[in-house]
Structure 1
Amino acid sequence: MLLLEANNIKKQYGDRLVFSIDSLKIYQNDRIGVVGINGCGKTTLLNVLTGNEFPGEGTVRRYGGHAYITQLDDPPDRALDRMMGKKFRVPDSEWETMSGGEKTRLKIARGFSAPCSILFADEPTCNLDLDGIRLLEEQLKKFEGALVIVSHDRSLMDALCAKILEIESGKVTEYAGNYSDYKRQKEAEIERRRFDYEQYVREKHRLTAAIIEIKQKSVAMKKTPSRMGNSEARLHRRKTGQKMAKVDRAAAAIEKRIGQLEKKEKPAKPVEVNMYLQEQGRLYCRSVITGQEVSKSFGNKLLFDKICFEVPAGRKVALVGDNGSGKTTLLKMIAAGEKGITLAQNARIGYFRQDLGILDEEKTILENVIKDSVFTQRDVRLMLAQLLFKDEYVHKKVKVLSGGERVKAALAKIFVSGYNIIVLDEPTNYLDIYSLEALEKVMKEYMGAILFVSHDRKFIDEIADQVIVLQKGKALQYAGNYSDYLQYMESKNQQKPEQERIMQLENRLNEVVGRLCVSKQEDVEILNTEYEIILKELKRLRKSGL
């Protein structure tokens, strides 16, 4: 059953074409993913299809109700609250104190509760914890209507989508299959276009070279030998004229063939984003952030009680936990240097917040980023260009940017401000896949310490070499990435107490070895003593287990 059709759509902002669509039809049970770089118009497309924006040109007809899970943290919709009832009615004051994950869960609950035949979702996994993403995926699989989703979560798109709409340079192209299928088709398409272009250029060069050679022969034919008599010269010119006519006809035929060649455009290079995170003043110490008996509560709600943790120098540490476990609160406490938090001497923390509060919406991208920069305006412009903020685009005000563009502007501001410790709270939210992979690359290459919160399991596994888990008011620090931690927890539930203790000691031994590599001379003796104690205990436990 046809649920929506859009015909001859052309959406523009001033002279800029955002996208055009000749024809788009959405049927019941369609599962459609929308992809493209930040700012290409993905959210605008959803707004046009849902009727939140006028298309400019063309028509959109909907043959049933729809629900829309929006991207940004819009305040509660009172009309929707009245329709949904008390269950979803949230006072403005309470909305302001909710975490990003809690706001997202509420918007998702509203979307699923509204009677609809099409569900539109714009980055619905943002701010959700890993369990929340798994539950959302299960709910979306069970949804009986059509689904149109924008997401940077590659695993989610693979699990849900059977069709992909790509927005590129104002053109909307449809691909069959999930995200991985789309990537394969896209790569094959680019390779085929590159091959066709190279063949076109090669043939054009060959024919052009043939014309040049013919014309050179033609020039040589025109010259009459100086020792010829008049009658011989006239005969020579007659024969030469006949030959030149043939040559001219041959050259004209080749030129016609060149004109008949099907012109092939040079394929654009894949989008590459290079973000150079420059380290400013490396800290030579064992730990750059240390927490000793840190506690926090809000009223009767205890987030964590006397937890201990550390961020070793040069490490990438992921802070994970369920929504509401206190991850963002702990990052705020670290940035503020609250009780129980110790920072290394000369530490300068760059803090990326979920709410993007470091950006002034009334100022331009360039004005925001350059305000506290330790680099020249030229270097700042180069970084912004690498983030696809090129030419006059840097003069756009933040308030008109998409969610992903705002995130990139805030990250750029952090990167150029001369910090030697980076603290990131959900930096992957709203980023397109190109920017997400660029962020992974720069975080891997950065030599300083990074503490970050993310709900993207692949991103955590790519970056983190240690994990701090907040759970039930406690903190567990694990030396390894998130997948290693999950395997450890699974094996822990199946192991005997002796095996669990062996694993704990092995993890601690690895941590001690790592510290020995970066510690000052006065710390080495203490660490060596602990190293010997751990080895003896491991030997005893392993022997008793035989």
Structure 2
Amino acid sequence: MTLILLNALEKKVQGELLFRAAHLKAGAGERVGIIGRNGSGKSTLAKIIAGEDTAYTGNLVVQGDLQYVPQIAISDNSLSGGQVEIAALRTAIAKNPAILVLDEPTANLDEGHQNWLCKCLLKYHGLLLVISHDRNLLTQIASCIWEIKDKCCSEFRGSYENYVVKSEKNYQQQTNLYRYQIKKQKEIAAAVQRKKQKAASVRKGKKMGRFERKDTKNLRETTAARMEKNAHKMLKQSQRANNVEKPQAQFEVKVLMASLPAFKGKTVVDADRMMLTHNKEKLLEQTSFKVKPGEKIALTGPNGSGKSTLLNAIFNHEKNIFVSKDAKIGIFKQNLITLPLQENIADFVRRKTVLDIQFVRRFMGALGLPEKYWDKKIGSLSGGELCKLQLVIVLTSEKNFLLLDEPTNFLDVVALHALEEFLMRYPGTLIFVSHDKSFCSHIATRTLSIYKHHLVDFAKEEVDPVPKTDLPLLRLEYDRALLDPKVNISQLRTMSQKIKSLEKN
């Protein structure tokens, strides 16, 4: 039974189209994952479906009672974001509505509550619509994908994993078509040029004598004009046929050219029987651990267990925490934005970064700060955009030891991929807090988890920061398979799973 139907629905903001949905429908038992870049209109679509935004054109039919949990805005300082989120989710799920709409439900949840939410949503039998950048959540629950891209909301019938495989194959196919189109354009341009040169030669009658040129002037002019007309016609036909747009390439980092200060010793951080408290509450007791140069450590644990407090303790060199004198620490926290609001973005970035400026501009674009922001004042950015700029500055500076507290919370899937690409090739030392399981598995060479006031090290032996595997060869084979029409989605999925398994290990 269809519970939601959208026909020719358009949403405009200040007269400009935000997105259109030609025809979308969803029924009981379906679990729809809604994806798209930040600012594409996902939350607006949810508000329209929930009846909170009526400023649109077209038709919308919603049948059945609906519960909507928007992105949580924290206003009560006595509660964490996770606590507020959990309370709202429990209330909505307990009502067992016909339609449940959730906007970024895992953004503030720790791993335990993420698992709880997944189980609840898999047991839910109504129509579920979930806006999320959480790839793990989408992989587990989504039976259908709605994507807002290029101002159009389209549907993919199938799992998120199949959507990813299909998208990658479509990207490779479009890339090949675009390259073929460019090749043909060059061939036709060369042919047109030859025709024009031939016409010019005919018009001049270079190989004719003086009397022959005089007698054939009108004929030569007519022939040359016909040749030029044919050349012009060929060029126009070519331009009309050029309808393949250049696909937007994912941000990639082959080599990160960064000359960071080197560590002379074998230890970046050495904590010896340290105690950690916050507002007189004990978080860690008698804790010892070491961090070696080049390690990339995921710091995990329940909400409120002390992850952010531990990062602050390392940054401030608190009691019983030794930090190498060679360490130049860069710290990122969403609630710690220290940017000169009156300065021009371009000037500020050039002044702070030690990387190639063109690379930094591409990186900013992938994170959601494209070229149009380059000449703006920092103070004109939104809160989320300020976070992204702060992150860019921390990452591309001369810092050789990074402390990142939830750097993924405000990033869409494209930006997440860009951040992963950067950090996987970052040559320094890294400790980061994130509830994104996929992100942690791609980046971390070691995991430390806070559990019952103790720091648990799951790696009992040294981890090679750059493990040697067959991963590069398997990725190459996967890229080739994407271009092979004989390879089916099932085979591609198997190869993709092998790649993910190697990335985790």
TM-score tier by shorter-chain length is 0.7 to 0.9
Aligned residue for 2:156, secondary structure, equals strand
Could you say which residue in structure 1 is the equivalent of 2:25?
25
Instruction: Tell me how far apart the structure 1 counterparts of residues 197 and 346 of structure 2 sit (CA, whole Å).
Output: 61
The answer on 1:473 being equivalent to 2:473 is: no
2:38 partner amino acid:
N
- Contact 1:470-1:476 at 8 Å conserved across structures: yes
Instruction: Tell me how far apart the structure 2 counterparts of residues 192 and 229 of structure 1 sit (CA, whole Å).
Output: 55
Q: Identity over aligned residues, as a percent?
A: 26
- Contact 1:374-1:417 at 8 Å conserved across structures: yes
Pick aligned residue for 1:267 from 246, 250, 253: 246
2:50 partner amino acid:
T
Instruction: Tell me how far apart the structure 2 counterparts of residues 9 and 398 of structure 1 sit (CA, whole Å).
Output: 35
1:297 CA drift (Å): 4.8
- Contact 2:82-2:303 at 8 Å conserved across structures: yes
Larger Rg: 1
- Contact 1:29-1:144 at 8 Å conserved across structures: yes
Aligned residue for 1:97, secondary structure, equals coil
- State how 1:307-318 maps to structure 2 within 5 Å: 307-318=287-298
- Contact 1:360-1:398 at 8 Å conserved across structures: no
Instruction: Tell me how far apart the structure 1 counterparts of residues 13 and 241 of structure 2 sit (CA, whole Å).
Output: 33
1:157 CA drift (Å): 1.4
Of residues 104-113 and 56-65 in structure 1, the stretch that sits farther from structure 2 once superposed is 56-65
- State how 1:383-422 maps to structure 2 within 5 Å: 384-385=364-365, 387-393=367-373, 395=376, 401=382, 403=384, 405=385, 407-416=387-396, 418-422=398-402
The answer on 1:172 being equivalent to 2:153 is: yes
13 and 368 in structure 1: CA distance in 2 versus 1, 3 angstrom threshold: farther
321 and 254 in structure 1: CA distance in 2 versus 1, 3 angstrom threshold: same
Pick aligned residue for 1:109 from 70, 83, 90: 90
Instruction: Tell me how far apart the structure 1 counterparts of residues 383 and 354 of structure 2 sit (CA, whole Å).
Output: 26
Instruction: Tell me how far apart the structure 2 counterparts of residues 114 and 205 of structure 1 sit (CA, whole Å).
Output: 63
2:44 partner amino acid:
T
1:133-183 Cα shifts (integer Å, max 9, x gaps):
222111111111212222222232122212222222222222221222222
1:187 CA drift (Å): 2.8
- Contact 2:72-2:81 at 8 Å conserved across structures: no
Instruction: Tell me how far apart the structure 2 counterparts of residues 362 and 374 of structure 1 sit (CA, whole Å).
Output: 12
Could you say which residue in structure 2 is the equivalent of 1:67?
67
> TM-score scaled to structure 1, two decimals?
0.70
Instruction: Tell me how far apart the structure 2 counterparts of residues 111 and 407 of structure 1 sit (CA, whole Å).
Output: 30
Pick aligned residue for 1:321 from 301, 306, 312: 301
477 and 399 in structure 1: CA distance in 2 versus 1, 3 angstrom threshold: farther
Instruction: Tell me how far apart the structure 1 counterparts of residues 342 and 31 of structure 2 sit (CA, whole Å).
Output: 37
Could you say which residue in structure 1 is the equivalent of 2:237?
258
1:420 CA drift (Å): 3.4
245 and 52 in structure 1: CA distance in 2 versus 1, 3 angstrom threshold: same
Instruction: Tell me how far apart the structure 2 counterparts of residues 371 and 193 of structure 1 sit (CA, whole Å).
Output: 34
Instruction: Tell me how far apart the structure 1 counterparts of residues 86 and 71 of structure 2 sit (CA, whole Å).
Output: 12
Aligned residue for 2:427, secondary structure, equals coil
Paired residue total: 459
Pick aligned residue for 1:132 from 109, 113, 116: 113
Could you say which residue in structure 2 is the equivalent of 1:119?
100
1:260 CA drift (Å): 9.6
Could you say which residue in structure 1 is the equivalent of 2:435?
455
Instruction: Tell me how far apart the structure 2 counterparts of residues 337 and 443 of structure 1 sit (CA, whole Å).
Output: 24
Residue ranges of structure 2 left out of the alignment (5+ in a row): 466-505
Aligned residue for 1:189, secondary structure, equals helix
Once superposed, what is the RMSD of the aligned Cα atoms?
A: 4.2
2:318 partner amino acid:
E
- Contact 1:197-1:266 at 8 Å conserved across structures: yes
Instruction: Tell me how far apart the structure 1 counterparts of residues 347 and 186 of structure 2 sit (CA, whole Å).
Output: 47
Instruction: Tell me how far apart the structure 2 counterparts of residues 227 and 337 of structure 1 sit (CA, whole Å).
Output: 94
10 and 286 in structure 1: CA distance in 2 versus 1, 3 angstrom threshold: same
The answer on 1:330 being equivalent to 2:313 is: no
- Contact 1:281-1:420 at 8 Å conserved across structures: yes
- Contact 1:38-1:431 at 8 Å conserved across structures: yes
> TM-score scaled to structure 2, two decimals?
0.75
364 and 17 in structure 1: CA distance in 2 versus 1, 3 angstrom threshold: farther
Of residues 270-279 and 307-316 in structure 1, the stretch that sits farther from structure 2 once superposed is 270-279
- Contact 2:11-2:18 at 8 Å conserved across structures: yes
- Contact 1:200-1:261 at 8 Å conserved across structures: no
Instruction: Tell me how far apart the structure 2 counterparts of residues 387 and 165 of structure 1 sit (CA, whole Å).
Output: 22
- State how 1:390-539 maps to structure 2 within 5 Å: 390-393=370-373, 395=376, 401=382, 403=384, 405=385, 407-416=387-396, 418-479=398-459, 507=461, 510=462
1:305 CA drift (Å): 1.8
Instruction: Tell me how far apart the structure 2 counterparts of residues 371 and 197 of structure 1 sit (CA, whole Å).
Output: 33
1:219 CA drift (Å): 5.4
Residue ranges of structure 1 left out of the alignment (5+ in a row): 76-91, 480-503, 515-546
1:109 partner amino acid:
R
Instruction: Tell me how far apart the structure 1 counterparts of residues 355 and 37 of structure 2 sit (CA, whole Å).
Output: 25
Aligned residue for 1:438, secondary structure, equals helix
